[in-house]
Structure 1
Amino acid sequence: MNNKESENDGVLVADKLILELMNNLLDSGRTLFTDNWYTSVGLARRLTTRGTHLVGTLRSNRKCNPKNVITASLNRGQIFGMESDDGITVLKWKDKGDVLMLSTKHGIQTTNIGQRQKPVAIIDCNAAKSFIRCL
């Protein structure tokens, strides 16, 4: 399966799949954590209108990504991000490599991890992934 837009409405196939699978869980204040295959600004907008947060890693080539975040040149430990008027934050953090995140639950706030700062969105996403691996 690929993640192409459906011919009729321009919605990504992955977005439709997630909305269908999550249908009975929407409108209840939950948070969905996704990997970069599923995360998109379009999905974030759709989920936000249904009372559901989205947090996940983001591919740099997705439509509607803020170009100045994607192309920002950072040194290790630096963070740069933007928040839209509808509460979607896209951020880039430089660790060993660039990490792109999207969150409707977090801003660009960081927390101290040892001797460095790390975005809270990444900490929460990693915790969710660890929980899933334990099941």
Structure 2
Amino acid sequence: MYFGKDTTARTGKKSEKIVLRLMRPYLLKGHQLYMDNYYNSVTLSQKLVDLKTHTTGTLRSNRKDNPKDIIKKKLKKNQHVWERKNKVYVSKWVDKRPVLMVTTSVHPRLIEIQNRFQQRKIKPAEVAEYNQHMSGVDRADQMISYYSSPRKSIRWYKKVMFHLLDVAYGTHFLFSKNTAKPIVISCFSERN
């Protein structure tokens, strides 16, 4: 969504400002924040850890403050490298494709985990923690992409409306599937 032109301050990115504004009541309390790559950056993670809020999340490779050595490093499958910048760890791991992570709460290292099929796998600790806590959000985004009602529109509010309809339909479907008596929503009224 369009955030609007910021005429008051020129420091920091808008996505960082959004996160800091939303987290304001929870800062300085020792919370843990999990973010996807849209909001995450090394700079934001450093600001949050200075405010006693740890972060873990995926990272886009084109962020300005990323360590160049990690980004440019060519890795083979299951290789893992990391670098520390102040209190922030940035790591790269290759599974099916390269995965960039940023964390302030977990020291990057390879650990053995058990997947849902009871198979043992080697993964970085930061990836395992992120998957444990972000799976619901990522799964919802995945499901919406399968059954989306895409509409090309110039107006941003129409896109938001269709996205909200997708989410509402998905939640209604899950609710009616998991309850004994499904709720039927009708847009038409009966006339006598």
| Structure-2-length-normalised TM-score | 0.63
Root-mean-square deviation (CA, aligned residues, Å) is: 2.2
Point out which structure has higher relative CO (alpha carbons under 8 A, 6+ apart). 1
CA distance in 1, matches of 2:111, 2:18: 34
**Matching residue of 1:83:** 84
Number of residues of Structure 1 aligned to a counterpart in Structure 2: 132
Query: Which residue of 114, 119, 130 corresponds with 2:124?
Result: 119
Partner of 2:175: none
Q: Confirm or deny: 8 A CA contact 1:77 1:116 kept in the other structure.
A: no
Whole-angstrom distance in 2 between the partners of 1:106 and 1:38: 19
Unaligned runs of 5+ in 1: none
Question: Alpha-carbon deviation of 1:130?
Answer: 2.5
Aligned to 1:20: 21
Query: CA 1:20–1:127 in structure 2 vs 1: closer, same or farther (change >3 Å)?
Result: same
Q: Distance in 2 between matches of 1:88 and 1:36?
A: 15
Please list the CA deviations of residues 3-56 of structure 1 after superposition, one character each: whole Å capped at 9, or x if unmatched.
9xx674330101000100010001011110000000001101110110001111
The code of the aligned residue for 1:68 comes to D
What TM-score results when the alignment is normalised by the length of structure 1?
0.88
Structure 1's consecutive aligned runs of 4 or more residues displaced over 4 angstroms after TM superposition are: 131-134
> Which residue, out of 126, 130, 134, partners 2:135?
130
Equivalent pairs: percent with the same residue?
Answer: 35
* Partners of 1:9 and 1:42 in 2: CA distance: 15
1:73-132 deviations in whole A, cap 9, x for unaligned? Answer: 101000011012x21000000000000000011122121135542111011101111355
Asked whether the 8 Å contact 1:83–1:107 carries over to 2, the reply is no
Which structure has the bigger radius of gyration? Answer: 2
Q: Which has the higher strand share?
A: 1
